[in-house]
Structure 1
Amino acid sequence: MASVKLAPFAVFLLAAFLMFPMKKVEGVDCTGAYCDDLTGCGDYCFCDVIYFLGNQGVCVPYSAMKKKVEENPNLCQTHTECKKKGSGNFCARHINSDVKYGFCFASFSEAQDAYKMAITSNIKKDFLKIPGTTAY
């Protein structure tokens, strides 16, 4: 008897779900994925380059990247942004053109010196070496 009473309710629910289909909305889940020059991050994601690793980085959502650039006084997208933040006069962009931000420096020559030091540093060369490995 109970199933007979619930049958109209089930038909009503079925009709309601068919009349008002739910829109499939997926959140942007790109945090934690690794990226470089060859592998992109996908839609609505940005490759946050880790400078001492060269062109390798981690995928993050655009909103997180925008917030990061706004909050950090040394990150910039234009020369005027450096001047507004008071951290320099020159915005030195990354070598990789996909990276949409750079660092603020006082002058062009200071930026050149900093990049020369970063390219020749031992941090990048020795970063992936495993210390103290022995074979048995």
Structure 2
Amino acid sequence: MAYVKIAPFAVFLLAAFSLSFTVMFSMKKIEGAKCGEACDTQFNFCNAGDGCRCFITDAYLTLPGFCAQLTSIEKKVEELPNLCWSHAECIRKGSGNYCAHLPNSDIKYGFCFASISEAEDVLLKRDFLKMSVSA
């Protein structure tokens, strides 16, 4: 007889836990930026279905990037003097001696700098990497 009284309570608990689980862990549908739109320079987030990548033209990451097709990115890297594929290209363009790539492995091009130490200062010692300490 006790099992008959406990069964509705067990069903109630199961329903309550499943409802709270779906409310607490519900996933939002997030879409990446489409080609031609601005994209986040920190996470390189573009819609993969369009075949777009986030194109960043500022090594200091102060300007937002924009989503573009890979072929147009390759053309832009050739045109812009501060973007490079290799050290030799920086020297050829006359904009530095060192081609520094961002830590994000999705971005295949780099930025030209005069030296390795300048590239380290810009890419590794930025303000957003420092932890804020409350007084």
TM range (shorter): 0.5 to 0.7
Q: Which moved more, 1:106-115 or 1:32-41?
A: 32-41
- Count of matched residue pairs: 90
2: CA distance between counterparts of 1:90 and 1:97? 18
Q: For the Cα contact (< 8 Å) 1:41–1:47, is it kept in 2?
A: no
1: CA distance between counterparts of 2:90 and 2:118? 14
Stretches (4+) displaced over 4 A = none
Q: TM-score, normalised by structure 2?
A: 0.54
Q: For the Cα contact (< 8 Å) 2:55–2:66, is it kept in 1?
A: yes
Match of residue 52, structure 1, among 53, 58, 62? 62
Find out whether 1:89 has 2:97 as its counterpart: yes
Deviation per CA, 1:72-92: give whole Å up to 9, x if none: 111111111111112111101
Find out whether 1:31 has 2:36 as its counterpart: yes
Unaligned runs of 5+ in 2: 1-33, 129-135
- TM-aligned CA deviation for residue 33 of structure 1: 5.5
Q: Secondary structure at the match of 1:52?
A: coil
Where does residue 85 of structure 2 map in the other structure?
77
Unaligned runs of 5+ in 1: 1-28, 122-136
Q: TM-score, normalised by structure 1?
A: 0.54
Opposite residue 113 of structure 1, the aligned amino acid is D
